[in-house]
Amino acid sequence: MADRHPGSNGRDRDVAVGDDTNATSSGGNGGISDPDEWLQLLSDRRRRYLLYCLRDDDVRKQGTLARRVAARLAHTSPEEVPERRSETVEASLVHVDIPMLADAGVVSYDRRTGTIRFDDLPDGLEHLLDACATLDESRGSGDLPGTSARDR
């Protein structure tokens, strides 16, 4: 038997009645600790690419990130991304992906300055992100023109 409880992403999730697991999935630092929610965060290619771009650089501007993410999605260099496509990706990042990652405690976002800061990841999420990066690179989307090791 299961009860419905709100997850940190605004969606309900099943929690078994009498189960010792916490109905909310917030970790001690305000982040998530549930592997199902980690997988949900990483299930979207755009969010993964955003995290790859942020991984080695602590702070980035949303416009720069949007252009790099758009380049990865299009398998091209950032310089070849049309402005309109970059703006579309930026809107999706600002209104969907960055808030989701911020709610999960993965990034910090300053709307006023458009700055995104990569926060410390729980070990499990870091390992999953590494595995995703390996899979994405093996699909041919890792070594793109105009990307560097710090973008992966």
pLDDT tens for the chain, residues 1 to 152: 444 444 444 444 443 333 333 333 333 344 567 888 899 999 999 999 999 999 866 568 999 999 999 999 999 999 999 999 999 999 999 999 999 999 999 999 999 999 999 888 888 889 999 999 999 988 864 444 444 443 33
Long-range Cβ pairs for the range 112-115 (8 Å, 24+): 113/61, 114/61, 114/62, 114/63, 115/59, 115/60, 115/61, 115/62
The C-alpha atoms of residue 119 and residue 101 are separated, in whole angstroms, by 10
Among the residues of 76-122, which ranges form H helices? 83-92, 98-103
> What tokens appear for 102 in the block?
């911020």
Choose among 108, 103, 76: nearest CA to 89: 76
For the stretch 109-128, what's the b/e string if a residue is b when 16 or more beta carbons lie within 10 angstroms of its beta carbon?
A: beeeebebebbebbeebeeb
> What tokens appear for 97 in the block?
């992906």
Query: Residue 6 belongs to what H/E stretch?
Result: strand 2-6
pTM, two decimals, is 0.70
Residues ≥6 apart with Cβ < 8 Å to 100: 9, 41, 47
